[in-house]
């Protein structure tokens, strides 16, 4: 897991409603995160609410959520998980980079743990929910990954505005955090982007490293099961600002049936 010294790493929520996740570090003891942590000083302006994990207010918020997280994990018995996981939905994204087909990402959605969050993503993959209140199809097809930071994450799901300030869930514009039982461990974790507590819509992100500081702030609801090479190719299009070198687009998406 990447390590930092004198670091500030947290999820940041903008006052303009943009769904931003931030990794900020001054120095890094791991070669794997040497390029990832350097969010430049100019980002202080664009991300005014960036908080150090040692910030007393942030620590208080995390401590308040900790009992609920522990209780949720106790409810997940191995036998129950084994049976339920066999019925979890599998969905896909067909990705293009710079207009060229780049392969398929396949996800397992953890409906056994967070059914409401998983169902939101599943229906946004199939498009079966129709048109949302903003007059746009509730569908990821044709939307882009608007923010990619190497050695951190790839963020997408804003099919209404395409810039990180929009999106809509199948339940209405936003819905509550369901459960913080699953962790941001490893590559390809699928988690909800948000603009603060209980502001889940359609935006999501895929991790490319361990991100434990996000565990009690963002709801994990799935993981990449196929296409890690595609995720790596997507990550290579990113930058420290999050701007992509070439457009990374979900050309098609849907549910895989047995």
CATH classification of the domain holding 225:
2.40.100.10
How far apart are the C-alpha atoms of 124 and 240, rounded to whole Å? 28
**Of 34, 89, 82, whose CA–CA distance to 240 is shortest?**
34
What pTM was computed for the model?
0.74
Can you give the residue range of the structural domain that contains 78? 4-256
- Tokens 């390590």 locate to 3
pLDDT digits (tens, 9 = 90+) for 41-92: 333 223 323 334 444 554 555 555 555 555 555 555 555 555 566 799 999 9
Residue 200 has pLDDT above 90, yes or no: yes
Residue 204 is a catalytic residue: no
Residue 145 is a catalytic residue: no
How many domains is the chain partitioned into structurally?
Answer: 1
The pLDDT score that the predictor gives to residue 75 is: 54
Of 218, 221, 231, 237, which one is the catalytic site residue? 218
Residue 147 is a catalytic residue: yes
Residue 198 is a catalytic residue: no
Residue 194 is a catalytic residue: yes
């Amino acid at each position: 897991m990447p390590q930092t010294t004198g670091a500030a790493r947290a999820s940041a929520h903008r006052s303009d409603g943009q769904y931003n996740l931030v990794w900020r570090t001054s120095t890094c003891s791991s070669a794997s995160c040497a390029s990832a942590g350097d969010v430049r000083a100019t980002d202080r302006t664009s991300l005014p609410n960036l908080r150090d994990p040692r910030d007393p207010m942030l620590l208080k918020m995390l401590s308040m959520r900790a009992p609920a997280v522990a209780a949720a994990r106790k409810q997940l018995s191995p036998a129950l998980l084994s049976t339920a996981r066999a019925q979890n939905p599998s969905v896909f994204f067909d990705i293009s980079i710079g207009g060229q087909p780049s392969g398929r990402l396949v996800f397992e959605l953890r409906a056994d743990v967070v059914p409401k969050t998983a169902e939101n993503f599943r229906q946004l993959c199939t498009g079966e929910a129709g048109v949302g209140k903003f007059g746009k199809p509730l569908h990821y097809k044709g939307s882009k990954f608007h923010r990619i930071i190497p050695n951190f994450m790839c963020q997408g799901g804003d099919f209404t505005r395409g810039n990180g300030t929009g999106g809509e869930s199948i339940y209405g514009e936003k819905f509550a955090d369901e459960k913080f039982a699953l962790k941001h461990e490893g590559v390809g974790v699928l988690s909800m982007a948000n603009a603060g507590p209980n502001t889940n819509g359609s935006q999501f992100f895929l991790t490319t490293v361990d991100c434990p500081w996000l565990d009690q702030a963002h709801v994990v609801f799935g993981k990449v099961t196929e296409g890690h090479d595609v995720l790596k190719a997507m990550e290579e299009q990113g930058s420290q600002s999050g701007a992509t070198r070439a457009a990374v687009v979900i050309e098609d998406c849907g549910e895989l049936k047995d």
